[in-house]
Amino acid sequence: MSSRTRKFFSYYRPYMGLFFADLFCALILSATTLALPLCVRYITKNVLESTSPDRLQQIYAAGGLMLGLILVHTLCNMFVAYQGHLMGARMEADMRNELFGHYQKLSFSFYDEQKTGQLMTRLTNDSFDLSELFHHGPEDVVISLLNFAGAFIILVNINVQLALIVLLFMPIMAIYAFYFNKKMKHAMRRSKDRIGDINAQVEDALAGIRAIKSFTNEEVENAKFLYANNRLVASRQDSIKSEVLFYEGLVAFTQLMTLVVIIFGGVAIVNGALDLADLLVFLLYIGILIEPIKRFGNFTRLYQEGMAGFARFMEVLEVEPDIQDAADALDIRHVQGAIEFRDVDFRYREGNGYVLQNINLNIQVGEYVALVGSSGVGKTTICSLIPRFYEATDGQILLDGTNISQIRLHSLRKNVGIVQQDVYLFAGTVAENIRYGKLDASEAEIIVAAKKANAHDFIMALPNGYHTDIGERGVKLSGGQKQRLSIARVFLKDPPILIFDEATSSLDNESEKAVQDSLERLTHNRTTLVIAHRLSTVRKAQRIIVLTYAGIDEQGTHEELMAGGGTYAHLYNMQFTI
């Protein structure tokens, strides 16, 4: 058994009691289905043809038995329909939880290569198809096998020759079903991928709706969506064509089989080898015999859809995070904030060029360091390596003398606060977004953090103060307001190490001053790294490190670097000359 097969069946483990109860009810359903025509045969052959004076009582008794069978059949059907679907829904929820949890573990490098819409499809559409397979799959297999075997045995007992005629159709129908089953499999997989493409297109367009409208590119986005939608329709067309040929072909074979049985059964009646009652019952059992084939068709569809989804599900689940805790990783306490880079090289993937090479850097406890240089020289990359968002290709990064690869990720990142240019706020209230920095923070702690971030006044001016809903991604706030909320969040986290990545570059002068004041307050007694393009914002840094494509070019204070007349002086003068 393959690892994926074992994984598939592992989702049944928590629900084995319900699973076996579902199969037991499926067994009863099969038994009652097979028993009802036997009751009809008893009435038509044993009762109606007899001369017993209590024939009416026998008919009533047989009718009562059939009524009881129908009642049991209905109750079992209701149990299978309700509890079976509920079991499938719970298993689907377990899979979603596992996949979402796995998403949280995956490294930045994984998301650099993925489309959000595709990942969402694996979490929603694919798991729903699996829910149907988890429930209906075993049930359909059990009922189909029992009904087919039971019906065929009874048919043989009624008339061997007619039963053999029916049996001749089975290999032909099986070959036909297998052929179109294979076609459905490929069509289903294409549909899954293209649904993911549509979700990715929609997610991208809705996230960028303001840019679309500002550039009046609605028609461009409509055309892109139309293209993706048409590709989905084309794949669905192939899928529907295969399904139609599959199901309608089986129906045609069924009708042909019934026709052949009627003809040969009629001949057998004329020859005295069969009576009319047995032919009628034979036809009833052909209907039961065909039901497993229909169920098999339904199972095939569910199997193709479900396994296509399961394959996509496992593709992600089998991705190992690039960055994981070492077996002997430790938690760190009382972090001072000394950071050292020793001969650090980095590239994003094997075969790509190096972004950083031979970086040696020592940052003291509480030091305020600025990283400057042209775009693409690796400023953000250096800062991303410290909390291990990416792993250094070669060399070591030490925190207070401990290699960060030996520190548990959760412990490391709890001690690093990051304020970025592109602030991400969650849908919800102001208080909920600030509390994200410390989930158990009290209302009073949130207010203190907001005051330190120069955010309290504008928050109190909002309709509901700290309980104002800010919309998706904080759309109801200005850039400066969003930035101050992100700083309040870091104040609440209270980390010993801070990283500011272009935190004020997109703000107006008034907002920049408010944010700059709160940033300076936040940096007090903390090891701080600031990435800045506007060099005027880092003049107060204790040390400025100038990066070029060759690595660290020069470092010193603003005054020292200006006096040296090197790369920094050139960049600074160029900014203020423009």
- Whether 331 maps to a domain, the answer reads no
Asked if pLDDT for residue 192 goes beyond 80, the answer is no
Residues 142 and 254 in one domain: yes
Answer with the residue of higher pLDDT: 388 or 49: 388
- Whether 325 maps to a domain, the answer reads no
Check residue 404 and give its pLDDT.
Answer: 93
Residues 498 and 431 in one domain: yes
- Whether 145 maps to a domain, the answer reads yes
Out of 277, 300, 317, a domain closes at 317
Asked if pLDDT for residue 126 goes beyond 70, the answer is yes
Q: What is the DSSP letter of 355?
A: S
Check residue 169 and give its pLDDT.
Answer: 82
- C-alpha 153: how far from its chain's center? 46
What is the C-alpha separation between 569 and 396, in angstroms, rounded?
31
What pLDDT, in 10s, does the model give residues 209-223?
A: 766 766 677 788 888
Check residue 574 and give its pLDDT.
Answer: 79
Query: Tokens standing for 240?
Result: 């529907």
- Whether 400 maps to a domain, the answer reads no
CATH of the domain at 492: 3.40.50.300
The contacts of residue 531 (CB under 8 Å, 6+ apart) are 370, 371, 372, 379, 380, 383, 499, 500, 501, 502
What pLDDT, in 10s, does the model give residues 494-514?
A: 899 989 887 665 555 666 676
Asked if pLDDT for residue 394 goes beyond 90, the answer is yes
In angstroms, the Cα distances linking 130 to 16, 182, 393 are: 17, 19, 39
Q: Which residues pair with 527 in a beta bridge?
A: 497
Answer with the residue of higher pLDDT: 128 or 92: 92
Give 364's pLDDT tier (boundaries 50, 70, 90): very high
What is the C-alpha separation between 307 and 398, in angstroms, rounded?
46
CATH of the domain at 148: 1.20.1560.10
What pLDDT, in 10s, does the model give residues 293-344?
A: 767 767 777 777 788 788 888 888 888 888 888 888 899 988 999 999 999 9
Q: Which domain holds residue 513?
A: 367-377+416-577
What is the C-alpha separation between 491 and 499, in angstroms, rounded?
13
Check residue 407 and give its pLDDT.
Answer: 93
Asked if pLDDT for residue 121 goes beyond 80, the answer is no
Residues 168 and 310 in one domain: yes
Asked if pLDDT for residue 183 goes beyond 80, the answer is no
Check residue 509 and give its pLDDT.
Answer: 62
Give 363's pLDDT tier (boundaries 50, 70, 90): very high
Give 164's pLDDT tier (boundaries 50, 70, 90): confident
Check residue 505 and give its pLDDT.
Answer: 57
Q: What are phi and psi of 551, to 5 degrees?
A: 125, -150
140-154, 289-303, 353-367, 475-489: lowest mean pLDDT where? 289-303
Asked if pLDDT for residue 578 goes beyond 60, the answer is no
What is the C-alpha separation between 149 and 517, in angstroms, rounded?
81
What is the C-alpha separation between 333 and 340, in angstroms, rounded?
18
Residues 313 and 421 in one domain: no
- Whether 515 maps to a domain, the answer reads yes
What pLDDT, in 10s, does the model give residues 234-259?
A: 888 877 887 788 778 877 887 888 88
Asked if pLDDT for residue 396 goes beyond 90, the answer is yes
Please, how many CA atoms are within 13 Å of residue 418, restricted to the half-sphere of its CB?
17
Q: What share of the chain in percent tops pLDDT 90?
A: 15
Out of 278, 293, 317, a domain closes at 317
Residues 526, 337: contact at Cβ < 8 Å? yes
- Whether 509 maps to a domain, the answer reads yes
Residues 100 and 168 in one domain: yes
- Whether 355 maps to a domain, the answer reads no
| Mean predicted confidence (pLDDT) in 254-273 | 84
Average pLDDT of the chain is 83
- Print the SS3 string covering 155-180: HHHHCHHHHHHHHHHHHHHHHHHHHH
What pLDDT, in 10s, does the model give residues 55-114?
A: 788 888 878 888 999 999 999 989 988 888 888 888 888 988 888 888 888 888 888 888
Q: What is the pTM of this model?
A: 0.74
Check residue 312 and give its pLDDT.
Answer: 82
Residues 309 and 372 in one domain: no
Check residue 216 and give its pLDDT.
Answer: 73
- Whether 291 maps to a domain, the answer reads yes
Residues 311 and 372 in one domain: no
- C-alpha 66: how far from its chain's center? 48
Q: How many domains does the chain have?
A: 2
| Mean predicted confidence (pLDDT) in 113-127 | 77
Residues 372 and 278 in one domain: no
